[in-house]
Amino acid sequence: MTPPELTRRRCLQAGGAALAAPWLAHAQGAWPSKPIRWVVPFTPGGTTDAVTRLVATEIARTLGQPVVVENKPGAGTVIGVDSVAKSAPDGYAFVTVANSFCVNHTLLKKLPYDSLKDLRPVALMGLSEHVLATHPASGLKTAADIAAQAKAGKPLSYASFGQGTSAHLAGEMLKTALGTPNIVHVPYKGQAPALADLLGGQVSMMFGNWPEFRGHVQSGKLAAIGMATARRSVYAPDIPTLAEQGAAVESNSWNGMLAPAGVPDAVVQRLNREVNQALRAPSVAEALRQGGIADKSGTPEDFGAFIRSEIERYAVVIRKAGITAE
């Protein structure tokens, strides 16, 4: 190609790029141009629902479009998650997931979606530490008390949010750590009914979210045996960890946002920034602090790595305990 021809081609290419630039800028800047649907696969009122609504309110303000939170519980969160996994990947449907998402990957053999292929991570949001609590009349004060009573043949039970939930798996971890396989698991349909029976003394103990248990512990209606954390919690520094008592159990309830797999990278990155910014907004940050919920902001890649590690961690517990779906 001669120099004049080369110059002419470069001019045409530059002209074409200049004409395309405004259109590309408009296309990239058009999202969002309508309301966003954000599914919560749990009933209203829990920690995951509360965190989602806090963040949704803030990002609606910064994005300039309504963010409609839709509670869609059922089948251990599978119904709500599947509804988003099968949504158009246009950046207008998202779902909040929690520990159950990673548990279901191993526990349920016929999921209607592929956990790692049909959805993509957007942002991890909050984390609530678990406390192991009992009724004050139980006579249980430490992990050693649990072990002694169980080994003496005294009937002991632990409640959970349901079969395969994080509270269930935490109970199985505790049984392994203490060598007490005879402690009976009593599953409930959610934390609220399980907590009600714990407060009534119908079950011996339960792992639960510190934000929901805090008031009961502080009022003396429940006794905290230990926090299921690696180190003493900043939210409950006076309560010893189970690890300090020779039972190294780590358990919590976390939540984060996923999108359908085909959502463009630009939308995922933008929404990740918006969520992280929302978590740092003064009103949201104060609400999380007051609620005892840790801000877990980070990149989509961070959340993806976290999901994979949680799937592996829960798979070990499920297989060792022989847990099956109801």
The residue segments making up the domain with residue 195 are 129-245
Residue 325 has which token pair? 């779906």
Model pLDDT for residues 213-230, shown as the tens digit of each residue: 999 999 999 999 999 999
In a domain, 307, yes or no: yes
**What is the distance between the alpha carbons of residues 26 and 29, in angstroms, rounded to a whole number?**
5
Residues in the chain: 326
81 shares its domain with 133: no
User: Mean pLDDT, to the nearest integer, of 178-182?
Assistant: 96
- Same domain for 172 and 270, yes or no, is no
For residues 224 and 264, state if they share a domain. no
Q: How many CA atoms lie within 13 A of 297 on its CB side?
A: 17
Asked whether residue 108 falls in the same domain as residue 158, the answer is no
**CATH number (domain holding residue 190):** 3.40.190.10
Does residue 50 surpass a pLDDT of 90? Answer: yes
Q: Which of 245, 272, 296 is the last residue of a domain?
A: 245
Q: Residue 286 domain-assigned?
A: yes
For the segment 152-160, the average pLDDT, to the nearest whole number, is 96
Question: What are the distances in angstroms from CA 122 to CA 77, 94, 164, 282?
Answer: 18, 9, 25, 22
Q: For position 43, what pLDDT does the model report? A: 86
pLDDT at 6 over 50: no
Peptide linkage before 44 cis (omega within 30 of 0): no
Residue 14 confidence (pLDDT)? 43
Of 226, 245, 264, the one marking the end of a domain is 245
Q: What is the pLDDT of residue 69?
A: 98
Task: Read off the pLDDT band of 26 (50, 70, 90).
Answer: very low
Question: Do residues 228 and 258 both lie within one domain?
Answer: no
Indicate whether 173 and 264 sit together in one domain. Answer: no
- Mean pLDDT, residues 156-165 taken together: 93
pLDDT at 29 (0 to 100): 56
| Assigned domain for 64 exists | yes
Select from 187, 145, 133, 136 the least CA-distant residue to 164: 187
Residue 300: pLDDT band (50, 70, 90) is: very high
Q: What is the DSSP letter of 203?
A: S
Same domain, 229 and 259: no
CATH number at residue 60: 3.40.190.150
Mean pLDDT along residues 283-291: 94
Residues 94 and 83 grouped into a single domain: yes
Q: Are residues 156 and 217 in the same domain?
A: yes
In the listed set 221, 245, 269, which residue is the last one of a domain according to the structure?
245
Residues 228 and 91 placed together within one structural domain of the fold: no
**According to the model, what pLDDT value does residue 105 have?**
97
Nearest to 92 by CA among 40, 51, 32, 29: 32
∠ CA 301-305-310 to the nearest 5 degrees?
Answer: 145
State pLDDT tens for residues 96-149: 999 999 999 999 999 999 999 999 999 999 999 999 999 999 999 999 999 999
Percent of the chain whose pLDDT exceeds 70: 91
Number of domains in the chain: 2
Q: Are residues 231 and 266 in the same domain?
A: no
Q: Decide if 13 is inside a domain.
A: no
